Amino acid sequence: MEFPQDLRYSREHEWVRVEDGRARVGITDYAQDALGDVVFVQLPEAGADVAAAATCCEVESTKSVSEVYAPVSGTVVEVNDALEDAPEQINEDPYGDGWLFVIEMSNPAELDALLDAAAYEAFVSEP
């Protein structure tokens, strides 16, 4: 199980990589492993406003459908269209090609509420 040090994590199992004031978002290695084989992704629309902790898209696997929550508030400025034809990238490379969307953050201070890698690893290791 990977927990990259340069990311922030939500308790709902999303990760955030901050790039030039924007938040690139995906689901964690832990989440994709729990979901099993991802077969479909419903991404938010570019231009959509999202609120921290609100549902913004869904990931469907062979086991279940799971909601994805925006870890920070802002406007979706980019979505990973490649996932339409290759949703398995979420399983194969959750922190790389398996990213979901990018948010132009309206309140970067919301990042402070997210977990660092050590705290997230401890969170998912709890019994």
Residue 127's pLDDT band (cuts 50, 70, 90): confident
* Averaged pLDDT, 40-55: 97
The answer to whether position 58 is within a domain reads yes
Question: Among 49, 60, 127, which Cα is nearest to 91's?
Answer: 60
* Averaged pLDDT, 43-72: 97
- The set of long-range contacts for 88-91, using a CB threshold of 8 Å and a minimum separation of 24, is 88/37, 88/38, 88/39, 90/26, 90/27, 90/32, 90/38, 90/41, 90/59, 91/32, 91/37, 91/38
The answer to whether position 44 is within a domain reads yes
The answer to whether position 126 is within a domain reads no
Residue 88 reports pLDDT greater than 90: yes
Residue 37 reports pLDDT greater than 90: yes
The answer to whether position 90 is within a domain reads yes
Residue 14's pLDDT band (cuts 50, 70, 90): very high
Domain count, the chain: 1
Q: Report the CATH number at residue 87.
A: 2.40.50.100
**What's the domain range around 33?**
8-111
Residue 49 reports pLDDT greater than 90: yes
The answer to whether position 14 is within a domain reads yes
